[in-house]
Amino acid sequence: VAPGVITFLSDYGLADESVGVCHGVIARRCPQARVIDISHAVPRQDVRAGALMLRDALPYMPAGVHLAVVDPGVGTPRRAVALAVGEPERVLVGPDNGLLWPAAERLGGARAAVDIGRSRERLEPVSATFHGRDIFAPVAAALADGANLSDVGEQLDVATLVRLAPTRASVRDGVVHARVARLDGFGNVALDAVRDDLYAAGLRVGETVSVASAGTTRRGLYAGAFADVAAGELVLIVDSAGAVALAVNRGSAAAELDLHPGEPVAVEAVRATG
C-alpha cells in the first residue's frame, strides 16, 4: 500500500464525535497518515447509496487505504474485511455487506481479502456498536503504516464476498426505463443510465423530453449544462460522474419530482404526432 493516505467514507454524519474519534484512533496508530474525508453524509445505513458514492469517488482519490463504514449489521456475525484490488497500492477496508463491492469492481476487481473481525490491530474491548473505532480505523491505520493484508486478518476466499450489483437502465421502443441511483446535496437526481442509453432511445441534446415517475410526468430539456434552462425548469444532463441526471436549475429535482433511490423513471422524446 502507498504509505500514508487513508480516505474515509461513512454514514456517521457530523452531528457527534464518531468521525473525530476515528481520526484520533488513526493518528495514534499511524501518526504520519493523512486522512481525506470523502463524505460522512451517506444516508444512514443505506449500503447501496454508500457503495455508489464510494465507487464514483475513488477514481479521484490518490492510491492508499480506502476506509468505508456503512454498517447496519454492526454487532451481528457479518464479516469485517480488507481487500486488495486490481489497481496496485489500493486496499479497501469495511464491512462485508456489499459496500465495497462496486468500488472494487471499478478498481480492477477484488484480488485478495482477509477477515479482520479478530485482527490483532483491534482496540480491546471491542464494542458491539462502533466497529469504525474498534476494528476498521485501527486496521486501516496499520495498513497505511505498511502492514500487509496477512498482518491484519485471516485470508478468505474472494468468491465468498457479499456482492452488490447496481441496477442498469434498459431501452425499449424509444423509452429509457431507468431507476434513481443517487441524490446529491443539491437535489440533483442521478439515474442508472448513461449517455449511450439516451442515444439508443433516439434522444439528442437540445430536444424536449418527457420524464415520468410514480406520480408525475414533466417536460424538460436534454441539455449540456444546468444553466441552459431558466431557473425552476427541469433539465436532463450527463452529470460529472457520467450518469444521466435530472436537475432543476437553481432548485431541487429530488424535491420537486419527489424522487428517492430505487424508484423507476421513464424518459422519452416529446415529438409532434401526425
Where do contacts with a second copy occur on this chain (CB under 8 A)?
5, 7, 9, 12-21, 23-25, 27-28, 31, 34, 36-41, 44-45, 53, 56-57, 60-62, 72-76, 127-130, 133-134, 184-186, 224-228, 237-240, 250
Shortest CB 244 distance to a second copy, Å: 12
Shortest CB 28 distance to a second copy, Å: 5
Nearer to a second copy, 177 or 249 (CB): 249
Shortest CB 272 distance to a second copy, Å: 28
Shortest CB 76 distance to a second copy, Å: 5
* DSSP conformation letters of the chain: --TTEEEEEES--SSSSHHHHHHHHHHHH-TT-EEEEEES-SPTT-HHHHHHHHHHHGGGSPSSEEEEE--TTTTSS--EEEEEESSTT-EEEEESSSTTHHHHHHTT-EEEEEE-TT-TTSPSSPPSS-HIIIIIHHHHHHHHTT--HHHHSEEE-GGGS--------EEETTEEEEEEEEE-TT--EEEEEEHHHHHHTT--TT-EEEEE-SS-EEEEEE-SSGGGS-TT-EEEEE-TTSEEEEEETTS-HHHHHT--TT-EEEEEE-----
**What is the Cα 86 distance to its own chain's centre?**
19
Shortest CB 185 distance to a second copy, Å: 3
Shortest CB 60 distance to a second copy, Å: 4
